[in-house]
Every structure is written in C-alpha cells, then in structure tokens.
Amino acid sequence: MSNNQVSTHEQRQEWRAHHLHSASPFLTQMPKIELHVHIEGTMTPELRWKLSQRNNIPLTIGPQKTPLTSLKQTHDAYKHIRGRIGAASTKPQESFTFYEAYYGGMELLRTEEDFYDLAWEYFDKFAGMGGVYCEVFFDAQGHTRRGLEISVVMGGLKRAQMNAERELGVSYSSYDPFPNPVAE
C-alpha cells in the first residue's frame, strides 16, 4: 500500500461516524462478536438516571459538580463526554471526562439488581445489533473496594448472562481483571 492510500485520522473518524448510524442491512444484520467490553462502561444515560433515582444518589457533571436533575439533562451530558465522536462541547463545566463518566457510573451500582440491569441492557442491545458472542470484563476489585460483596456483583452479572444465553442466543465469556484494579 502506498502512502496516499493510508487513510487519515479524520477520514477514519468520518467513516466511523457515518457507519455508527448506518441502516444498511448488510451491516445491521451481519452477525457480530465483541471481544473486549468493560461492562461498567456500557451504562446508558437511561440506566444512569434510573440507578440514581433507585439508589438516591444525585448525579453531577464537571468540576463544579453541577447537578443533573432530569433524564434529559443526563442524556445531554453524554453528548459532551470529551473525546467522544461528535462531542458537542469541550467546555469542562459541562462535559464529562471519560473517567468521570466511567467511575461516576460505577458508584451508582449498589445491588444485585443494579448489576443485572447493567448487564442485561448491554446483552439486549448487543443482540439487537446482531451480536452472537462477547467477552465481558468487569472490575471486581473496583466494586469490592467500595464495600460491595463480590456475590452482589457476580450474582447480577451471572443471572443476566444466563438469561441472555437462553432468551437472546448470546454466548459469552467473562473476565474478572482482578490483578488489574484500573480499567485500561
């Protein structure tokens, strides 16, 4: 391949943004595998809002800890995660960093049901995209460090995995990155 055939970073971003919203049946119906997903990072704005309500934990954004007081605000905040494709803003007071989004979401996970909902939402969405097999990582130490019993974490994830296999036809392997307390 000669140099002029190598795509630029901008071209690759454009290609990704284009296909992210593609309705092409070739792409949408193609069976898919996902080989490296950190389950805690899959939390949607809807689940984030639901968990904050369920566990009575206020949501905030940015260094000034501006409160997020509705699902719509929470949804909008996701458009501002820095580095995200198409991020609407890079103003720190109204944007999450990746780690604020990730660890802020982890804090909301408290019960077996919370972990079930997190994993089930992911499997359901994955199956909807034609997903058939995935390898799921979870941050066991990140949760036990917060005082949760490992059985709370494992119980919810395992139940969702078994239901996903039975009801959605999604098979999986899961990995506990125990020796690696910080997400890659």
Identify which of residues 10 and 184 has a Cβ nearer to Zn ion in the complex.
184
Q: How far is the CB of 81 from Zn ion (least distance, A)?
A: 17
Instruction: Give whole-number Cα distances, 103 to 33, 97, 99, 169, in Å.
Output: 26, 10, 6, 30
Strand duo 59-61 + 32-38: pairing: unpaired
CA distance 180 to 184: 9
Residue 24: both structure tokens together? 């092409």
Q: Is 10 in the site for Zn ion (CB under 5 A)?
A: no
CA atoms of 3 and 8, how far apart (whole Å): 10
Nearer to Zn ion, 41 or 92 (CB): 41
CB closer to Zn ion, 62 vs 133 = 133
d(CA 101, CA 42): 10
Q: Please, which of residues 24-53 interact with Zn ion by CB under 5 A?
A: none
Residues 155-184 that bind Zn ion (CB under 5 A): 184
| Min CB(94)–Zn ion separation in Å | 27
**Nearer to Zn ion by C-beta: 76 or 176?**
176
Interhelix angle 150-163/112-128, nearest 10 degrees: 30
Q: Any bridge partners for residue 117, and if so which?
A: none
**Closest distance between Zn ion and the C-beta of residue 106, in Å?**
14
Closest separation between CB of residue 180 and Zn ion, Å?
A: 9
Number of residues that bind Zn ion (CB under 5 A): 1
Least separation, in Å, of the C-beta of 137 and Zn ion?
6
Task: Identify the CA nearest to 127 among candidates 173, 167, 155.
Answer: 167
Per the listing, tokens 């990746």 go with 98
List residues near Zn ion by CB under 5 A: 184
